[in-house]
Amino acid sequence: MTVIAAAAASIVANYFQWRCVAKAGASVTIAHAVVLDDFSVVASGVIALSVIMTALVATTGRFANGSPASSFTSSRSPRHPVHY
């Protein structure tokens, strides 16, 4: 849930950045090395939405199989070794 909250806060910040860019136009910072324009605001918003969607899919998949925690390892448990 922390990831979703952080990404949602980023989207709120993007809203205010978008209003600033729409009103004043593109701006540069850090010795003209970083540009804040329409594309950068949209790109950061898309990244934040992607993070939210990924977190929601990971959370949904975690509880779908009945296990309390997600596991990206094989289904074989080290407590039950396979003997060949």
Give the tens place of pLDDT for each residue, 18-59. Answer: 998 889 888 888 888 888 888 889 999 999 999 989 888 887
Tell me whether residue 81 is in a domain: no
Tell me whether residue 70 is in a domain: no
Tell me whether residue 84 is in a domain: no
Tell me whether residue 35 is in a domain: yes
Sign of the alpha-carbon dihedral angle for 19, 42, 46, 1: negative
Angle at 78 between CA 76 and CA 83, to 5 degrees: 70
Tell me whether residue 28 is in a domain: yes
Number of domains in the chain: 1
Q: Which domain holds residue 22?
A: 2-64
The per-residue pLDDT for 76 is 55
Tell me whether residue 72 is in a domain: no
Tell me whether residue 80 is in a domain: no
- Convert the pLDDT of each residue in 48-78 to its tens digit: 999 989 888 887 765 555 555 555 555 555 5
Considering the entire predicted model, what is its pTM?
0.65
Tell me whether residue 38 is in a domain: yes
The per-residue pLDDT for 43 is 92
Is residue 8 predicted with pLDDT exceeding 60?
yes
